[in-house]
Chain A
């Protein structure tokens, strides 16, 4: 874990440019402050780094391959590499962060772990590390997400976690996050809240980005051996809260030769009223303790987003991404539900890989952007699609044939 420098890293109060900070009620102050004061020191100790790296290697299965997708490359007449985070234990990049955070929680003496989850990937990743470390685990999950991601609910329960259905608001990720924060307010001493993305009050966005930065650290080494250059021309990642993108971009943020593309969920279309394209539809405001771009009414009420993918169904975006996009460093492109479904099917049939619907949004960028024959394009394949089979069967005609 190295430190990103210059214009795109946080200042001492946890702001990326104008975004970030810690907008929290006093009841959370101690929890967040304890973490803020300790996270850098803890994660920079030798014993932490050794344990973190060992677990990533032996338990998660890192490094994950950087796979040259030949048929996909041929189809788009460029050089496409897939960073196979879908091959991580539990099926997505989420576990990089939960391993890091559970080690922090242990060192802070916490005995009870809470988490929010949308698609269930972060919930599974949290339940997994709690089982590994023998800690109590409570996962908050929107009632609507419980319905559409039932395999992951079963996995969490099998792993010994309590899955707590959330019936407030839109019954999805935003509300699950509210409920997890309320739980933390009510358990101020023994509990650590493992946030699953680069969202929330400082230090979460920075801490989670650091744990996920292993993705771009590996891409650097892998590209060097495959292309004789340690950076690509383009990196594409999907963005809900933005943790896999933060990890894939991390070591390239200050390299102007690398174009960063965020694939956001347009849902049924950016202007359909059923979308989660935060950087396009969002305005500056506060969500879950962080100043960032979010979808809200003129009156400042947070809007319930829509995406076919539960993991992108979030009305905000991490403050790092808000800054990257606002400053022009990263480009955001919105992908519809339909485009994501088509990209899923295409990858399955061209490469024999079924991507998560979240990751399919990143793949769908290939239809929108032209890349040169000589360019190197890395797509972060953040998760696998097994959890989406129900949704896929409901939506893809080929499965009915």
Chain B
């Protein structure tokens, strides 16, 4: 069974998905960060494959990708780094990236590698639904890689259902029509949208991303949907970290916010 299904079968709420950029802050940090995230109690990890032209990303994730590319990260290197990850890591791994590098690698070869190293899902925000259905759906199924598609506050209901029907694992709900890392705090408009998503009773669990940066936004999201994705805030925490394990642990603790922190 795909690890995403295992996770969502056994856990329905407060799911924490942390995004990090492969090869950032240093080329060789990828797997140590994944391990540290698992040790800190994160439920799944979304690993960003850096790209020269990341249209959906705000400045923080863009800059981390630029640095990762300068560090020498590539899809080939990433698969090399992930070769033995399953010896130590159990949590589901999702790759996020843009279609072009995957096309150049070869979609089937890419999916096959994903299966071999133990990747469970793939987010390609610029892959059109029709192209997925007509050209790639069978391959995703053959290699048991779950496709995860995005919805936004402006996605019409019919289209949300269509996206839900094509997605596996979970549906990624973008909190606001924005690039990553833009928002600070959620207003009534977002809350109404989260409620609307909840009421749609989708087949897939819903994780909300973009603008989830601290305990408050994380717990707000979890009041409505199954969990949250945190990206830019984590990248900011990693920047200049002298001790990755401690940074990761502190960051996850901050998000989950023990009572202690809340009383500070």
Contacts and interface: CB of A to CB of B under 8 A. Distances in A.
Interface of A: 13, 21-30, 168-169, 174, 178, 181-182, 185-186, 188-189, 283-289, 296, 298-302
Interface of B: 51-56, 58, 62, 66, 69, 74-76, 98-105, 125-128, 130-131, 149-152, 154-155, 159, 163, 174, 177-179, 182
A296 B100 contact: yes
A287 B74 CA distance: 18
Contacts of B177: 27, 30, 185-186, 188
Contact of B179 (A22, A27, A288, A299): A27
Given A182-B179, A287-B53, A299 B104 contact: yes
A302 B52 contact: yes
Given A26-B149, A296-B104, 6 more contacts: A24-B126, A27-B125, A182-B55, A185-B178, A300-B51, A300-B102
B74 A302 contact: no
B128 A168 contact: no
A22 B128 contact: yes
A114 to B, nearest CB: 14
Contacts of B52: 169, 301-302
B260 to A, nearest CB: 36
A202 to B, nearest CB: 10
Given A26-B149, A168-B66, A299 B76 contact: yes
B167 to A, nearest CB: 11
Contacts of A169: 52-53, 66
Contact of B151 (A13, A26, A285, A296): A26
A25 B56 contact: yes
B101 A299 contact: yes
A29 B155 contact: yes
Contact of A26 (B103, B105, B125): B125
Contact of A287 (B66, B100, B150, B179): B100
A26 B152 contact: yes
Contact of B128 (A21, A182, A296, A299): A21
B36 to A, nearest CB: 27
Contacts of A26: 125, 149-152, 155, 163, 174
11 contacts: A23-B126, A24-B126, A26-B152, A26-B163, A29-B159, A186-B178, A186-B179, A186-B182, A288-B55, A299-B75, A300-B101
A27 B174 contact: yes
Contacts of A296: 100, 104
Nearest to B182: A186
A13 B104 contact: no
A342 B53 CA distance: 34
Nearest to B159: A29
A13 B130 CA distance: 10
B178 A301 contact: no
B185 to A, nearest CB: 16
A98 to B, nearest CB: 23
Contacts of A24: 55, 126, 128
B155 A185 contact: no
Contacts of A185: 55-56, 177-179
Contact of B51 (A30, A168, A182, A301): A301
Contact of B105 (A13, A23, A284, A300): A300
A296 B131 CA distance: 22
A285 B178 contact: no
Given A27-B150, A27-B178, A300 B126 contact: no
A126 to B, nearest CB: 20
Nearest to B51: A301
Contacts of A188: 152, 154, 177
B99 A286 contact: yes
Nearest to B77: A299
Contact of A301 (B69, B99, B125, B131): B69
A25 B104 contact: no
A281 to B, nearest CB: 15
* A25, A28, A289 interface centre (most CB from chain B within 10 Å): A25
A300 B155 contact: no
Nearest to A21: B128
B50 to A, nearest CB: 8
B251 to A, nearest CB: 26
Given A23-B126, A185-B178, A300 B104 contact: yes
B152 A23 contact: no
A298 B74 CA distance: 10
A296 B154 CA distance: 33
Nearest to B62: A168
B126 A289 contact: yes
B55 A286 contact: no
Contacts of B62: 168
Contacts of B101: 299-301
A285 B126 contact: no
B155 A30 contact: yes
A188 B126 CA distance: 17
Contacts of B125: 25-27
A296 B103 CA distance: 12
Contacts of A29: 152, 154-155, 159
Contacts of A168: 62, 66
Contact of B74 (A27, A174, A189, A299): A299
